[in-house]
Amino acid sequence: MLFNLIIVIMVLFSIIFGILSGSITALAPAALDGAKDAVTLCLTLCGMICLWSGLMELMKRSGLSEKLSSLLSPILTRLFPTAARESETMFALSSNVSANLLGLGNAATPAGIKAAKGLKRLSGIDSASDELCLLVVMNTASLQLLPTTVASLRASLGSATPFDILPAVWLASLFSVSCGIFAAKLFSHFSRT
Amino acid sequence: MKLIGELSVPLIIIFVMLYALYRGTDIFSSMTAGAADGLKTVVGIVPALITLLPCIYMLRASGALDALCCLIRPLLSQIGIPSETVPLMLLRPLSGSGALAVGSDIIKQYGADSYVGRCAAVMLGSTETTFYVIAVYFGAAGIKNTRHAIPAALVADFAGFVAAAFFVRLFWG
């Protein structure tokens, strides 16, 4: 609903601003350009997105993502002591994090939902427990080894070295996740269950 | 540091392939099956981009985006964020395809290898569609009282934006 409103506001603002700045005649060609660019963009993105999806499927089928999730367990056990009481929830949790890391969005969400349900059951309360909030915060801050869509986007818009941003992306997401975890720990003292 | 990013891609590809070979996975059929899934992803993005990109282009053509940037510039320059990325920061938590559309507009406008273009790309890569994730997870778990999840997630987003601008300035400044 909010998003529908945002779209309307965007168009309304462009018309008001177009009249005020005298650039109203530029709007129609801009709209057509946008539609055209949307298709060109998707076409140029298509090859790279498919290539990466292929590689990610290979990570899944070869058992690499499972391997990663077992490596992550020790860290996650410390962050989620309640989840660690039940191996099934812990497994869903580590699958969720490892799938996020590898960019397997399709696998991350079902595992995350399973972990969220498990955490709710284990916490025994109807509102979001501290650990459930932590899980959600970790999922809203993207931790991804290869942000392939963004790299493809840069490549299709003429970047000479589309992947050179990777270290910056890693550091920024790491900082973002750490701040999220810290904020979740801090705010949990002030929010009532 | 820049080389690490470029090198990591072929290295990750060969590492995954060697691991699959060692485990006896059928590499070719796995990759083609994944590529077919990728096609579905792209088909899913196309309609959203066709709807959103014209709105964003109109906003840019009318001068409204520039006005918004000018308005917020003094505030954002304090924390080192280029004001050209404001539309991206506003849409990022709300809509994945919206962020992709506005991000592509910014990267196209200022150049993929420019400071602003790189900032937009790092912001896009280091954050998520916060409200969508919150809706999906809490919806599935049947939780109405989300307590501190939304503020903490928005802190994480904001920290990601600041850090994106900081690291791009550090590496390419």
Residue pLDDT, tens place only, A62-81 = 998 889 888 998 999 999 99
CB B127 within 8 A of CB A179: no
Domain-located, residue B112:
yes
Question: Using CB atoms, which residue from A112, A154, A168 is nearest to B164?
Answer: A168
Tokens at A23, concatenated: 């650039």
Note the pLDDT of residue B1. 67
Distance CA B49, CA B59 (A): 15
Residues of A in contact with B122 (CB under 8 A): 150, 165, 168-169, 172
| E strands, chain B, in order | none
Segment among A86-90, A96-100, A145-149 with least mean pLDDT: A145-149
- Report the C-alpha gap between B144 and A16 in whole angstroms: 39
Mean pLDDT per block of 10 residues along chain B (173 residues) reads: 80 93 95 92 88 92 89 88 93 90 95 96 93 90 89 94 96 86
Distance CA B131, CA B155 (A): 13
B58 to A27: CB separation less than 8 angstroms, yes or no: yes
Instruction: Quote the pLDDT of residue A191.
Output: 78
Task: Tell me whether residue B168 is in a domain.
Answer: yes
Q: What is the mean pLDDT of residues A104-120?
A: 87
pLDDT of A125: 87
Chain B residue numbers with beta carbons less than 8 Å from the beta carbon of A14 are 55, 58-59, 61-62, 64
On whether residue B133 sits in a domain, the answer given is yes
Q: Round the average pLDDT of chain A to a whole number and report it.
A: 90
Separation of alpha carbons A6 and A11, rounded Å: 9
Q: Would you say B117 and A100 are in contact if contact means Cβ atoms under 8 Å apart?
A: no
Q: Which of B8, B53, B159 sits opposite A179 (nearest CB)?
A: B159
Is the residue at B99 inside a domain?
Answer: yes
Q: What is the mean pLDDT of residues A162-177?
A: 93
Query: What pLDDT score does A153 carry?
Result: 92
Tell me which residue range forms the domain holding B162: 44-172
Judge: B145–A164 Cβ closer than 8 Å, yes or no.
no
* Inter-chain touch A17–B67, beta carbons under 8 Å: yes
**Domain annotation covers residue B28:** no
What are the tokens at A117?
A: 């349900």
Residues of A in contact with B41 (CB under 8 A): 49, 53
Q: Contact A127/B120 with Cβ under 8 angstroms? A: no
* Cβ pair A176:B111 closer than 8 A: no
DSSP class per residue in B95-148? -HHHHHHHHHHHHHHH-TTSHHHHHHHHHHHH---HHHHHHHHHHHHT-S--TT
On the question of pLDDT at A192 being above 80, the answer is no
Determine the pLDDT at residue A1.
Answer: 66
How much is the pLDDT for B159?
Answer: 95
In this prediction, what percent of chain A has a pLDDT beyond 90?
A: 56
Decide if B147 and A133 are in contact by the 8 Å CB cutoff. yes
Which uninterrupted H or E stretch holds A154? helix A148-156
State the average pLDDT over residues A24-35: 94
Give the pLDDT score at B8. Answer: 85
Model pLDDT, residue B113 = 94
From chain A, the residues in CB contact with B115 under 8 A are none
In a domain, B77, yes or no: yes
Note whether residue B67 is domain-resident.
Answer: yes
Per the structure, the count of domains in chain B is 1
Q: Say yes or no to pLDDT of A180 above 90.
A: yes
Which of A57, A97, A131 is best to mutate for the B interface (most B CBs within 10 A)? A57
Sign of CA pseudo-dihedral A130, B158, B125, B68: positive
pLDDT of residue A2: 74
Contact B125, B107 (CB under 8 A): no
Contact residues, chain B, for A173 at CB < 8 Å? 125-127, 160
Under the banding of pLDDT at 50, 70 and 90, the label for residue A193 is low
Q: How many CB atoms lie within 10 A of CB B140?
A: 16
